[in-house]
Amino acid sequence: MIKDDFKHSGTSINSESDNSCQYEYKINPQNTFDSFVEGKCNHISFQVSMAVAESPGELWNPFFLYGESGLGKTHLLHAIGNYILDNDPSKTVVYVPCKQFIEDAVDSLRDACGSEKFKTRYMSADVLLIDDFDQMIGKEATLDLFTDMLDVFRELNKQVIITADRNFREFEGAPERLLNRIAYGIITDLSGLDNETSCQIIRMLGEQKGIILNDEIIYKISDQFGLNVPSLQGVMNKIEFLSKGNEEITLEDLMGVLNMDDMQNYTLVIKRKQL
C-alpha cells in the first residue's frame, strides 16, 4: 500500500455514528484530565497532552509518550481523546491497542478487501490513538505501512498519539525512517511516582470511595505500595472492602491488609464518610 492509496481512499465514517467508538475499542470516559493526578513525575507529559488535545494536528505530530506500566500512559491517551470529543464532537477519534492495529495491517496487506477496510477504519480518523506501540517492533511490513500512514496524517494535519513502555530509540531493528518521523514530533516520558504524587493519588482514591485516611496512614501506604497506580488501587480496594458496613476499621484489620507490623503508634486509621 502506498501513500496515494491513503490520500485518495475516498471513504468516510457514517456521520451518524459515535465518533469516539466506531469500532470495538472505546475511549474510557472516566479517564479525563480532571481525574489525572499531576505531579513532579508527570508534569511535562500532562502539559504536552493538554496542549495536543487543545490543538490536534497543529503543534507536534506525532506525540510519543512512554514509561513503565502503571504510570498513566493509557489514562492520558484516553484523556486526550475525551477532551477532543468534548470540545469538538465533529472530530473522528480512533483509539486502538497496537495488537489490533497489527491484525488490521496484516489483513490490509493480504488482499484488496482488507486494504479497503483498513483505509475506512483509520484514514477517516482526525485523531489516531495507538496504545502499546512496542508490540509493533520487529514486524517490518506493518512498520512500513504505519510509517507511510504517519506521513499522510502529518500532511493532512491529522494527529497521531503513540504510547509505549520504552523510548523509541530502544526499538532494535526499527527502520530509521520511522525513528526519524517520531523524532520530528515530541517525546515525553512518565517517570516513577514521587511520594507527593503518590499521596495525592491515595487521597483521590479515598475520596472516590468515600473513605477518610489520616496523613500518617497515607504516607505509610505510599512508602510501601507507591510504585505505580495499579498497586495503590489494589490496596485501596482492600481497604474499601474492609470498610463495607463498618464506620471505622481497627488498626489490627488494616495491619493485616497492608502486611505491616509497625503501626502501633497510629491512632485514627480510616472511617467512612458521613453521607
pLDDT of 175: 85
Q: Which band of pLDDT confidence, cut at 50, 70 and 90, is reported for residue 127? A: very high
Query: What percent of the chain has a predicted confidence (pLDDT) above 70?
Result: 80
Most confident range, picked from 111-120, 195-204, 238-247, 257-266: 195-204
Residue 8 has pLDDT above 70, yes or no: no
- Distance from C-alpha of 249 to C-alpha of 262, rounded to nearest angstrom: 17
Secondary structure (DSSP) of the chain: --HHHHHT------TTS-TT-SSS----TT--STTS---TTTHHHHHHHHHHHHSTTTS-SSEEEEE-TTSSHHHHHHHHHHHHHHH-TTS-EEEEEHHHHHHHHHHHHH-HHHHHHHHHHHTT-SEEEEE-GGGGTT-HHHHHHHHHHHHHHHHTT-EEEEEESS-GGG-TT--HHHHHHHHHSEEEEE-PPPHHHHHHHHHHHHHHHTEEE-HHHHHHHHHHHTTSHHHHHHHHHHHHHHHTT-SB--HHHHHHHHT-S--TT----EEE---
d(C-alpha 133, C-alpha 126), whole Å: 19
Asked if the model's pLDDT at residue 268 lies above 50, the reply is: no
Q: What is the mean pLDDT of residues 220-238?
A: 87
Confidence check: pLDDT of 265 > 50: no
Reported as a pLDDT band with limits 50, 70 and 90, residue 275 is: very low
Stronger pLDDT, 150 or 115, i.e. the higher one: 150
The mean pLDDT of 36-60, rounded to a whole number, is 94
Q: What is the mean pLDDT of residues 27-33?
A: 93
pLDDT at 140 over 80: yes
Provide the pLDDT for residue 168.
Answer: 86
Who has greater pLDDT, 114 or 267? 114
Q: List Cβ neighbours of 73 (8 Å cut-off, separation of 6 or more).
A: 65, 66, 67, 131, 163, 164, 190
